Structure 1
Amino acid sequence: MSRLPTAAAWLRRDNLRMMGKLLVVVVVMSCFGYALVPMYRAICTALGINVLSLAERQHVVKATDLRNTQIDYSRKITIEFDANARGPWDFKPAKRYLEVHPGELTTVMYTFQNSQTRQMSAQAIPSYAPKQATAYFNKLECFCFNEYTLKPGEQKEWPVVFVIDPKLPRDVKTITLSYTFFEVAGKGHAQAIAVPAAPKEPRT
């Protein structure tokens, strides 16, 4: 006569059945998760919905799409950089001129070195030629009008960040940005007087 399964045996069988069901659910859900992304993209593509992530958008975006629409690419303006050192020190721009589009953000560096054997305090003032261009020369960052103290032989470098207003009259093709660096009165030798930039003929 066969023995009936004990309660413990029935419990083990129930546990094994439940574990098997759970394993099947895990496998099915994993497969569904892997298949969900291509299925979702296929559905959204069919419906015309853009599902690209931000990283994907940045990857496929074209350089032409990143252009500043306020830049006037139909013309170029020659910007000449002038530096006047009113004293025994070195002051000069990194570049003598640049060609820029109106509306284009541009940066140029100026360097200044105190070549004396004493400490000095100085500052710079800007001027523009032709004068009518002054209202269209927008500086976002500039070292002008700030007072700087330099030790003997010390050298500093400053950026000038600017944008030429696209509303600049079309007959203006060359702008001269001139800086005069002079020693601050009462903190060294006699103060030098800044000389505005002389108008120059446009480049051909």
Structure 2
Amino acid sequence: MSEDTGDSNRKMLVKLIVIAVMMFGFGYALIPVYKHICEVLGINVLTQRDGSVDVGKNTQVDTSRSITIELDSNVQGTLRFRPTQSSITVHPGEMATVVYEVVNSLPRTVHAQAIPSYAPHSVTPHFKKMECFCFKQQTLQANEARQMPVVFYIDPAVPKEVKTVTLSYTFFEIAGLEKTASN
């Protein structure tokens, strides 16, 4: 290979490296340039500078009506299970939290599951749980007491005639889990 070819290849390599670095720099610089352009034009602005947005207010809440949520519990087996309050009043769209308490008074570990139900049945698709102990099986140690929250909201599309909803949980011991786990 001649010296001219080697010099030519080195020059080409340097040019390619410079172009690659410039392309990377251009791509990196586009992020703040894009944010600035969007801010100036008022497009895709995530924060308001004038403080006109009320962060604590949910605009999806229907404050023109209220729904009473009656809390109920049933238990199959030897556990004690109950809501810590009998009812709560919410506006459709408003996030709410209720707490259920379970007590395992047995001298052994218990595996259990809660199954929810709603009345009237028509409210079922409108009852939206964000957090619930019913999403997974619960393991309660011997003589353990636990408070378990349910975080939910009622979809504002719930029929207007719904004034009262009953949220009921049946909490039951899962038999045979010990044998399944050891196999």
Give me the TM-score of the superposition, normalised by structure 1.
Answer: 0.59
What is the CA deviation profile of residues 123-169 of structure 1, one whole-angstrom value per residue up to 9, with x for unaligned ones?
11101101000000000001114112212211111110001000100
- For residues 140 and 130 of structure 2, the distance between their equivalents in structure 1, rounded to whole angstroms, comes to 24
- For residues 105 and 76 of structure 1, the distance between their equivalents in structure 2, rounded to whole angstroms, comes to 13
Instruction: Give, as a single letter, the amino acid of the residue that structure 1 aligns with 2:114.
Output: A
CA-based RMSD: 2.1
More strand by share: 2
Q: Does 2:94 correspond to 1:84?
A: no
Match of 1:177 among 156, 167, 172: 167
Counterpart for residue 192 of structure 1: none
Give me the TM-score of the superposition, normalised by structure 2.
Answer: 0.66
Q: Does 2:107 correspond to 1:107?
A: no
Does the CA-based 8 Å contact 1:119-1:149 persist in structure 2?
yes
- For residues 100 and 177 of structure 2, the distance between their equivalents in structure 1, rounded to whole angstroms, comes to 23
Counterpart for residue 117 of structure 1: 107
Counterpart for residue 56 of structure 2: 66
Unaligned segments of structure 1, at least 5 residues: 1-53, 189-204
- For residues 92 and 65 of structure 2, the distance between their equivalents in structure 1, rounded to whole angstroms, comes to 8
Identity over the aligned pairs, expressed in percent?
52
SS in 2 for 1:84: strand
SS in 1 for 2:123: helix
4+ long deviations beyond 6 Å: none
SS in 2 for 1:144: helix
Unaligned segments of structure 2, at least 5 residues: 1-46, 179-183
Size of the aligned set, in residue pairs, is 131
